[in-house]
């Protein structure tokens, strides 16, 4: 079989183009493989770094959680101690020579369902107040005894709560506030937060 020069040139040109195409394809394939290897390696390195960071982070996180719990406990204890100190340091009793003012406060005890006698007994057990009474009426306050039969003296009880007092029975002014003669004795007097009870040593 014989080929003319034109045919031979065409075949040569075709094979040259085919050769260029194959080379380009192989170069692209190699580049793709290299990129894949780099990407895969980077992913593996990144995963390894993340795992390493996670491993390093876990002990720190556990330590921080423990520290946080300890701090929370310490703060709770501090608040509790402060509250107890405030309660122990709170004194609802104010005294002058002939007047003893007792403020009713939940800082001293739970007030619900309690009467004044319970409150005074609690103050007495806390060494903040001392008294003795006869049939619900106070006869001695902080060591000072009244004896009407002997010297016409008496401890009169007044209250800042107008509903529990009787203005017609008498009033008493103390530190700019009016107090009303109590309508019941300490055994039957109900406790209300903030009420001030006066025990006044009176001469008749």
pLDDT digits (tens, 9 = 90+) for 80-94: 666 555 555 678 999
Q: Which residue has the higher pLDDT, 71 or 42?
A: 71
CB of 179 within 8 A of CB of 158? yes
Q: Is 70 helix (H, G, I), strand (E, B) or coil?
A: helix
pLDDT, one tens digit per residue, over 93-105 is: 999 989 999 999 9
Instruction: Out of 2-11, 55-64, 139-148, pick the least confident.
Output: 2-11
H helices present in the chain, as ranges: 5-89, 116-125, 148-151
Most confidently predicted of 13-17, 66-70, 147-151: 147-151
At residue 3, the pLDDT reads 45
For the chain, the domains span: 1-89, 93-203
CATH number at 93-203: 2.170.130
At residue 19, the pLDDT reads 64
Q: Is the dihedral of CA 159, 160, 163, 165 positive or negative?
A: positive
Of 42, 19, 38, 41, nearest to 30 (Cα)? 38
Residue 61 has phi, psi (to 5 degrees) of -65, -40
Q: Read off the pLDDT of each residue in 19-33 and give the average, rounded to a whole number.
A: 68
Distance, CA of 69 to CA of 199 (rounded, Å): 50
Q: Is 186 helix (H, G, I), strand (E, B) or coil?
A: coil
């Amino acid at each position: 079989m014989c080929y003319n020069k034109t045919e031979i040139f065409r075949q040569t040109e075709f094979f040259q183009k085919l050769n260029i195409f194959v080379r380009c394809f192989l170069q692209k394939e190699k580049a793709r493989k290299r990129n894949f290897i780099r990407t895969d390696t980077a992913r593996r390195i990144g995963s390894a770094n993340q795992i390493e960071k996670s491993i390093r982070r876990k002990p720190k996180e556990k330590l921080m959680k423990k520290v946080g719990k300890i701090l929370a406990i310490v703060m709770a204890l501090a608040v509790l101690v402060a509250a107890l100190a405030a309660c122990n340091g709170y004194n609802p009793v104010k005294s002058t020579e002939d007047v003893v003012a007792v403020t009713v406060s939940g800082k001293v005890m739970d007030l619900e369902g309690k009467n004044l006698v319970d409150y005074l007994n609690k103050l007495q057990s806390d060494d903040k107040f001392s008294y003795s009474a006869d049939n619900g009426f106070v006869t001695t306050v902080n060591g000072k005894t009244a004896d009407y039969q002997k010297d016409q003296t008496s401890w009169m009880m007044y209250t800042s709560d107008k509903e529990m007092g009787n203005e017609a029975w008498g009033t008493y002014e103390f530190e700019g506030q009016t107090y009303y003669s109590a309508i019941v004795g300490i055994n039957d007097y109900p406790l209300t937060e903030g009420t001030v009870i006066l025990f006044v040593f009176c001469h008749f």
